[in-house]
Chains A and B, each alone.
Chain A
């Protein structure tokens, strides 16, 4: 066997990424309706991150995504209060509860939270629907990050319109390249305020390399989607990618460090 680069060696031995900046830009807290997540307690998430060497996790509540945003967002804030250096909440904004919009934004403002999550699961409203306007207007004034659930063109095409209109929002495309890779390439090439996030249960061969080629390693952020799936799988996609260790470091954490600063 040829001598592997340092980060690949970590993958081979399963040793924590000590001395590296590793930030998970996409994870969750909570359970999910259509499958069993056996280990989803806060302590499980902290332990999984620790085995890999993930220092910071940015996550949203699945209760918030599926049902009650107010309750779920408060769960995320409580988790942050308990682990202030490790877990950082995305505030979930629900367009199909417009009566909650002001309260959701106030929650973020009070907590000085500068990252939001939007997801069309269940509500099926396109991301350029006017019911998202309160969020986009607020996020544009603060330069907030919005993590967007995507699964291809259906979500990426409308969010590109948002990126055009609200140039100060930092838009992070979740599950980048999972399907219809070409639209992710278009999004990141045409918009300076769009970044790509890596998590996907489909560990497509060569995808990390293609994401880096789309807009440069500076535009790709590591995410796990934990506890939906295993961070043990997601880290391997980056550690064994056919890119330099320097680029892997950008993907694993240096880019997120800048984006969330």
Chain B
């Protein structure tokens, strides 16, 4: 996330330039990024702002916040998604808890179905939806990649049963600091469900980097977590259905 945040602590970066510098330091070549205004002020304004900021950077890919289409704050589903893809926005993000809406079908069903149709991943920060909602989301939209971010290391008793049912559920690594966790998940056959992520600028990106570089993995597995799986998800977006 970039942009000025309501909950920024002194010393935490917020600008595009700081993000690019930290990515360079940590050897991060590309990132999915959203704008603080999308979470903390107005999703529509933040969505436009992130696209304006990252236009031409090539290494940053936008992520737009969604709302229930009925509220009229964002365009109708197909128009919204067409605009996203036209602006190299390759993921959507939902903050149902913060933005006071429901992730249920009666609220955002048509939008979720449209995302699923185009295979555009939906990011759900941990705490924005409970496990029952995530289970329903994955089950009702089995072709929608659902990426739960900021999940802590104490959630395997929820995740392992879900991963037995759903292959469209992904998590990011930013707080998923399970001891020898990546090797364990590789052994369980679910390493593909874990994506490199930093939760920047709340967390140090270097801590996520070393979770990958020091992991007890084969090199092809390491590359998968570091970025290949996310690239595969993004390559899977069905632009041909526009």
A binding-site residues for B, Cβ under 8 Å = 1-2, 4, 8, 11-14, 34-40, 44, 47-48, 51-52, 201-208, 210, 226-237, 239-241
Contact status B181-A38, CB under 8 Å: yes
Taken residue by residue from 8 to 41, chain B's Cβ proximity to chain A (1 for < 8 Å, 0 otherwise) reads as: 0101110000000000111100000000000000
Is B45 an interface position by the 8 A CB rule? no
> Smallest distance from the beta carbon of A121 to chain B beta carbons, Å?
14
Contact status B153-A239, CB under 8 Å: no
How distant is the Cα of A230 from the Cα of B177 in the complex, in angstroms? Answer: 5
Chain A residue numbers with a CB within 8 Å of B177 are 201, 229-230, 232-234
Contact status A40-B153, CB under 8 Å: no
Going nearest first, the 10 A-B pairs with the smallest beta carbon separation are A240-B206, A236-B210, A14-B213, A35-B154, A203-B207, A227-B179, A232-B214, A39-B180, A233-B177, A236-B207
Interface residue from B11, B179, B208 paired with A44 (Cβ < 8 Å): B179
> Smallest distance from the beta carbon of B155 to chain A beta carbons, Å?
7
Contact status B215-A232, CB under 8 Å: yes
Contact status B178-A229, CB under 8 Å: yes
Name the CB-closest residue of B to A37: B179
Chain B residue numbers with a CB within 8 Å of A226 are 179
> Smallest distance from the beta carbon of A140 to chain B beta carbons, Å?
34
How distant is the Cα of A242 from the Cα of B184 in the complex, in angstroms? Answer: 32
Contact status A233-B180, CB under 8 Å: no
Given contacts A11-B209, A236-B210, 18 further A-B contacts (CB under 8 A): A12-B213, A14-B213, A37-B178, A38-B156, A39-B183, A51-B216, A201-B152, A201-B177, A205-B9, A205-B200, A205-B204, A228-B153, A229-B177, A229-B179, A230-B153, A230-B180, A232-B214, A236-B208
> Smallest distance from the beta carbon of B226 to chain A beta carbons, Å?
11
Interface residue from B12, B179, B206 paired with A11 (Cβ < 8 Å): B206
User: Contacts A2-B24, A229-B153, A239-B206; is A48 near B180 (CB within 8 Å)?
Assistant: yes
Name the CB-closest residue of A to B26: A240
Name the CB-closest residue of B to A35: B154
Chain B residue numbers with a CB within 8 Å of A44 are 179-180
Contact status A237-B156, CB under 8 Å: no
Interface residue from A1, A39, A47, A232 paired with B27 (Cβ < 8 Å): A1
Is B218 an interface position by the 8 A CB rule? no
Taken residue by residue from 190 to 230, chain B's Cβ proximity to chain A (1 for < 8 Å, 0 otherwise) reads as: 00000000001111111111111111100000000000000
Contact status A205-B13, CB under 8 Å: yes
Chain B residue numbers with a CB within 8 Å of A51 are 214, 216
Contact status B210-A239, CB under 8 Å: yes
Contact status A1-B180, CB under 8 Å: no
Contact status B179-A48, CB under 8 Å: yes
Is B126 an interface position by the 8 A CB rule? no
Chain B residue numbers with a CB within 8 Å of A208 are 204
> Smallest distance from the beta carbon of B133 to chain A beta carbons, Å?
21
How distant is the Cα of A48 from the Cα of B200 in the complex, in angstroms? Answer: 26
How distant is the Cα of A201 from the Cα of B207 in the complex, in angstroms? Answer: 10
Interface residue from A4, A38, A40 paired with B25 (Cβ < 8 Å): A4
Contact status B203-A205, CB under 8 Å: yes
Contact status A40-B179, CB under 8 Å: yes
Is B163 an interface position by the 8 A CB rule? no
B binding-site residues for A, Cβ under 8 Å = 9, 11-13, 24-27, 152-157, 160, 174-175, 177-181, 183-184, 200-216
Contact status B181-A230, CB under 8 Å: yes
Name the CB-closest residue of A to B215: A232
Name the CB-closest residue of A to B159: A36
Interface residue from B12, B153, B207 paired with A35 (Cβ < 8 Å): B153
Interface residue from B153, B202, B211 paired with A205 (Cβ < 8 Å): B202
Interface residue from A1, A14, A37, A239 paired with B24 (Cβ < 8 Å): A1
> Smallest distance from the beta carbon of B177 to chain A beta carbons, Å?
4
Name the CB-closest residue of B to A242: B25
How distant is the Cα of A11 from the Cα of B204 in the complex, in angstroms? Answer: 13
How distant is the Cα of A13 from the Cα of B210 in the complex, in angstroms? Answer: 8
Contact status B204-A14, CB under 8 Å: no
Q: Could you say which of B27, B155, B174, B210 has the most chain A C-beta atoms within 10 Å of its C-beta?
A: B210
Q: Could you say which of A51, A226, A240, A241 has the most chain B C-beta atoms within 10 Å of its C-beta?
A: A240
Q: Could you say which of A34, A35, A237 has the most chain B C-beta atoms within 10 Å of its C-beta?
A: A35
How distant is the Cα of A51 from the Cα of B210 in the complex, in angstroms? Answer: 11
Chain A residue numbers with a CB within 8 Å of B200 are 205
Chain A residue numbers with a CB within 8 Å of B209 are 11-12, 236, 240
Q: Can you give 13 A-B contacts (C-beta < 8 A)?
A: A11-B210, A36-B156, A37-B178, A38-B181, A201-B175, A205-B200, A229-B178, A230-B178, A230-B180, A232-B214, A233-B210, A236-B209, A240-B25
> Smallest distance from the beta carbon of B149 to chain A beta carbons, Å?
14
